[in-house]
Amino acid sequence: MPTKPPPFTATPIGVVHSRLRNQAEAPKNYSESTEIATLEIYPPYRDGLKGLKAGQSILVLFWLHEARRDLLQVYPRGDRSRGLQGVFTTRSPMRPNPIAVSELKVLAVRGAELEVSGIDVIDGTPILDIKRSLAPELDNAE
């Protein structure tokens, strides 16, 4: 078995427009956030939004472009009393591949822009993918 997998690429499908300008302003987790933001989807991927409606919950994968990638152990939520933990046991943004996932509520769909609530990433964060919520029965789509 090879020790290093073959290279691959991931292409952002869009970008976040948020009032959050730096990591210190960002909520620790989407489940604690009431922040509203706009997800701009780039032209080649806009057809993928067909059928998306206000009221639905979506899972959004982000590339945390400003996160450190050289740490494998962190203090969860910065709380040193909890001891060092491996990043794979936390939701820390600092990890070898800084991919984040957030479950967001769609407030409005305006062409290629989605207004969402619950954002926990900063302005300019690349969007890697959007998926339907794992619990679609919880949607309140109109």
Number of compact structural domains in the chain? 1
41 in any annotated domain: yes
CATH of the domain at 111: 2.40.30.70
* 49 class by beta-carbon count within 10 Å (0-12 exposed, 13-18 middle, 19+ buried): middle
78 in any annotated domain: yes
99 in any annotated domain: yes
Record the pTM: 0.85
Please, what are the averages of pLDDT over each run of 10 residues along the chain (142 residues)?
80 96 76 89 97 96 91 85 91 88 96 96 97 72 53
Q: Are 48 and 13 in contact (CB under 8 A)?
A: yes
**Where in the sequence is the domain holding 95, given as residue range(s)?**
14-133
